[in-house]
Chains A and B, each alone.
Chain A
Amino acid sequence: MREEPLVRWDWIGRNWPSIQSLLEDHVVMSLVPIVVGLLVALPLGLACVRWRGIYQPTMSLMNVTYSLPSLAVFVMLIPVTGLATRATVIVPLVFYSLAVLIPAVVDGLGSVPDHVRQSAVAMGFTPLRRLLLVELPIAVPVVLAGLRVAAVSSISLVSVGALVGRGGLGYLFIDGWQRQFYTPIIVGVVLVVLLAAIADALLVLAQRLLTPWSRARGTA
């Protein structure tokens, strides 16, 4: 066996355009579930706070969904969303995001101290204004903490999609495996982790800007 360097930089240079397009695909497939997830989780979370009774059933359903292995769900979706389409990967990831984001929204709204809510009522806020101007801003740190978890998981999970033909940077793992060639695998792992780190950092930054009065609660 000849000595092969772990990373062959010339390969990266030659294949940069295709790596770049995989990266773009990866970003789209991981970003959409987070955005859609947040848009769905906010009203659902509010509903769970308003009608306490639906929270437990919703969460049980979410927990079951969350426990399904991603590869299995991708495969089962193929007849509906098609082989090697973005949708096959995006749809399950939306549900995984919801499983993290709905409790985050509920906990976030639950983190509003009762005396703050009461004084907002006493000062004559209408329910909608109270929600938008008082409760949601206070809930932001907890919701964003959930969003960080959802974003990082989502970015990492997209690559499993490569096994059903559409996994963004995950394609590099398949390619590297089939050719027994380290460079694409390492490039893939590094880019995925880098992407996750950037998304995480951006969300931390967003929190600092959105809630200058508080600092991130809990990094886990």
Chain B
Amino acid sequence: MNWLVDFFGDPANWSGPDGIPVRLTEHLQFSTVALLLAMLVALPLGLWIGHTGRGALLVVLSANAARALPTLGLLVLVVLLAGLSTDLPVLIPLVALAVPPILVNTYEGVRGVDPDLRDAAYGMGLRGGQVLGRVLVPVALPLILLGLRLAAIQVVATATVAAFVGLGGLGRYVVDGFATNDYPRTLGGAVLVALLALLVQLVFVLIQRLLVSPGVRRRNAVR
């Protein structure tokens, strides 16, 4: 506990370019951009594959690959190959690791919708886009949101690790603390990251409550 008091009690840690507000903002900005980019790729693709049934193999392969690829190795390799001039190269592995959970769960969510429901929707005269937007997405929404939540948590975690290859954010405290044998700093960073992850989890629970119809049953996410 003393370590935490050392870190959080030090006013120097609350201001300046290495202060908690700046690092937190960096972390949030970077994670948000990565998540949005991943959504931009994975949501339409997942909806399309789930709706048409074409390309299911791609989904399975990407999920397996994302689980097997070591985050740290991927970060180090990509950044080393692309150079350190900007933060952009770090985005590549971040986005790449966030895509599969969204993709798999969106796909599974849409694919798992009762065929009778589709039949009824078309039979009543909904057009393809209306079937997707008014029936398939609302019914698949719990799983889609779970996929987004897993991706968001993944991004927050990976962004922490990415401090090792020079990215800003809360991971800096962890990595720099280690480099200077300053354990209070490392621990303080870890606690902040953990709190941020819990906050993300909480935000998604709230979004879920807000957006998902009470008539739709929950299903298990694909990790």
Chain A residues whose C-beta falls within 8 Å of the C-beta of B76 in the assembled complex: 173-174, 176-177, 185
Q: Which of A72, A103, A167, A188 contacts B194 (CB under 8 A)?
A: A72
Identify which of B39-47, B133-141, B158-166 touches chain A: B158-166
A45 to chain B, nearest CB (A): 14
Kindly state the separation between the CA atoms of A196 and B69 in the bound complex, as whole angstroms. 9
Name B81's closest neighbour in chain A (CB-CB): A182
Q: Which of A75, A167, A185 contacts B187 (CB under 8 A)?
A: A75
Q: Which of B68, B72, B108, B183 contacts A220 (CB under 8 A)?
A: B108
Chain B residues whose C-beta falls within 8 Å of the C-beta of A220 in the assembled complex: 59-60, 63-64, 104, 108, 222
The reply on B156 being an interface residue by CB < 8 A is: yes
A187 to chain B, nearest CB (A): 10
Chain B residues whose C-beta falls within 8 Å of the C-beta of A156 in the assembled complex: 67-71
The reply on A155 being an interface residue by CB < 8 A is: yes
Chain B residues whose C-beta falls within 8 Å of the C-beta of A74 in the assembled complex: 190
* Segment 168-202 of A: residues with Cβ below 8 Å from B: 169-170, 172-174, 176-177, 180, 182, 185-186, 188-189, 192-193, 196-197, 200
Kindly state the separation between the CA atoms of A174 and B175 in the bound complex, as whole angstroms. 12
Give A contacts to B, CB under 8 Å.
63-64, 66-76, 78-79, 99-100, 103, 107, 149, 152-153, 155-156, 159-160, 162-164, 167, 169-170, 172-174, 176-177, 180, 182, 185-186, 188-189, 192-193, 196-197, 200, 219-220
In the assembled complex, 29 residue pairs joining A and B whose CB atoms fall closer than 8 Å, in A order, are A64-B201, A67-B153, A67-B197, A67-B201, A68-B194, A68-B197, A69-B161, A71-B157, A71-B160, A71-B174, A71-B193, A72-B190, A72-B193, A72-B194, A78-B183, A100-B223, A153-B67, A159-B70, A159-B72, A160-B72, A170-B70, A173-B73, A173-B76, A188-B70, A188-B73, A192-B70, A196-B68, A219-B64, A220-B104
